[in-house]
Amino acid sequence: MFNQFEDIQKMSKDNIDLAVKSFGATSKSVQAIATETADYSKKAFEHSSSVMEKLVGVKTLDKAFEIQSDFAKSAYEGFVAYASKVGELYTDLAKDTVKPYEAVIAKVQASAK
């Protein structure tokens, strides 16, 4: 009976260690996503502000269309780059969160066979 208690304690400790590792990876990844989002938002705001300043000083409609067209193109490209980067970060988040449990999953799968 004492051995069973020790086994339960060890299993509980192992599970807590796995949860702490998983949480650490999750918090690091979420922080990277938040940083990337804040950087993108700041750049997008600055870019929009500079375009507005250019538009205010425009004398012709053709020049206004040119500035707006360039802005739309660069804003789209910037968003696609941001979305790709954040997609990679979310993929890494999923991988890093599950990584501590891979050994346990492999052990369970092996014992099921």
Q: What is the pLDDT of residue 83?
A: 97
Give the residue among 24, 45, 40, 9 at the shortest CA–CA distance from 97. 24
Q: Report pTM.
A: 0.74
Domain boundaries, the chain: 2-112
Instruction: Identify the segments of the chain with pLDDT beneath 70.
Output: 1-2, 5, 113
What residues have CB less than 8 Å from 51, skipping those under 6 apart? 67, 68, 71
